[in-house]
Amino acid sequence: MRADRLLATLLFLQERGRVTVPEVAAELEVSERTARRDLEALASAGIPVYSQRGRGGGWSLVGGARTDLTGLTADEIRALFLVAGPLSDTPELRTTLRKLVRALPTTMRAQAQAATRAGVVDATDWSRNAVTADAAHRSALQGAVVDGIRVRLGYAGVGKPAGERTVDPLGLVAKAGVDYLVAGTDKGLRTFRLSRVTSVESTGEPVTRPPDFDLATAWRTLSGAFQDGMYAVTARARVHPDALALLQRFLGGRVRVGGPLPDGWTEVWVDGPAAKALAGHLAGLGARVEVLEPPEVRQWLARIGAELTEMYAGEEPHAPHGS
């Protein structure tokens, strides 16, 4: 796009002070005719650019003038580069940051460059699983959202093989370090965790955007439904003092702590998506937690305990099948 090229030409001119047409052409990878036309366009637009013929000539800013294209304060520049620097994992983002640095006054460049190196984004969790998408997939989805283009999305759900579906990308959401795509499907609005995306292919077709669609509102509705499912079952339990901190670390906000009991244990309420899942979370604490109600969670814990006893009661491991 010519507007981008004109900006790049002005930044290059500002950085070098004086440039020749061949230098501009080489820097921007355009013909010399195009480079000369762009320089003339800058002059016609009122930018204080002039040309000087002869040996040692070229194009310069009048009086060595410099243009601060950002209009940002020092604090704003630092905040921008602190956020953008760790995210610059694609060539396009790195190029954008370099252009922004060139646009800054000389006195602010060192601080901006230091800010880009002040943080790192680790895209894996502590179990070494990816928590965000491959950079190429994320970039493709960002482009599809901005351009309003429908895509064929390769996606692997939890415990399921990868499959392909056609979706209308409507927005991207970051929640607690995890990225999600909000998209329209034949079953309505759905969310897709970007770390489970296996492929993105543009269809070239425009998306169908719901009337009055608002990303923030849609996310609150979708995430609210998911969270309601996470709190479908509540168990009342008593926890040994040694296990309370561990339980809170495992289940976070799904644990509500009551008061101390006469025996020194603590009463708690623990939420989960289902009785079986909640029992599975609590079973790892063994006898240091006792579920008082509901009966369904107690029954699942008893079943898990019986299965573990049968498996491990003997002194020797069970022989593998076929041996």
**CA separation for the pair 194, 133 (Å, rounded):** 5
Q: Tell whether 323 is covered by a domain.
A: no
Say whether pTM exceeds 0.85.
no
- Count the domains in the chain: 4
Q: Are residues 239 and 297 in the same domain?
A: yes
Q: Are residues 237 and 283 in the same domain?
A: yes
Q: What angle do CA 232, 233, 236 make, to 5 degrees?
A: 150
Q: Tell whether 168 is covered by a domain.
A: yes
Integer angstrom CA distances of residue 98 from 15, 31, 265? 11, 23, 59
Q: Tell whether 206 is covered by a domain.
A: yes
Last residue of a domain, one of 219, 249, 276: 219
**Domain CATH for 244:** 3.30.70
What is the 3-class SS of 207-276, one letter each residue? Answer: CCCCCCCCHHHHHHHHHHHHHHHHCCEEEEEEECHHHHHHHHHHHHHHEEEEEECCCCCEEEEEEECCHH
Q: Phi/psi class of residue 18: alpha, beta or left (left: φ > 0; alpha: ψ in -120 to 50)?
A: beta
Write the pLDDT tens digit of every residue in 116-154: 777 776 767 776 776 666 677 888 898 899 899 999 999
**Domain CATH for 143:** 2.30.30
Phi, psi of 234 (to 5 degrees): -120, 130
**CA separation for the pair 61, 234 (Å, rounded):** 70
**CA separation for the pair 103, 2 (Å, rounded):** 18
Q: Are residues 140 and 202 in the same domain?
A: yes
More confident residue, 22 or 316: 22
pLDDT confidence of residue 314: 76
- Polymer length in residues for the chain: 323
Q: Tell whether 162 is covered by a domain.
A: yes
Beta-carbon contacts of 248 under 8 Å, excluding residues fewer than 6 positions away, are 255, 257
Last residue of a domain, one of 160, 191, 219: 219
**Domain CATH for 60:** 1.10.10.10
Which residues span the domain enclosing 106? 74-116
Q: Phi/psi class of residue 229: alpha, beta or left (left: φ > 0; alpha: ψ in -120 to 50)?
A: alpha
Nearest to 300 by CA among 272, 319, 259, 261: 272
Q: Tell whether 44 is covered by a domain.
A: yes
Last residue of a domain, one of 188, 219, 250: 219
Q: Are 261 and 239 in contact (CB under 8 A)?
A: no
Across 7-16, 18-27, 75-84, 163-172, the highest mean pLDDT is recorded for 163-172
More confident residue, 3 or 232: 232
Across 17-31, 88-102, 244-258, the highest mean pLDDT is recorded for 244-258
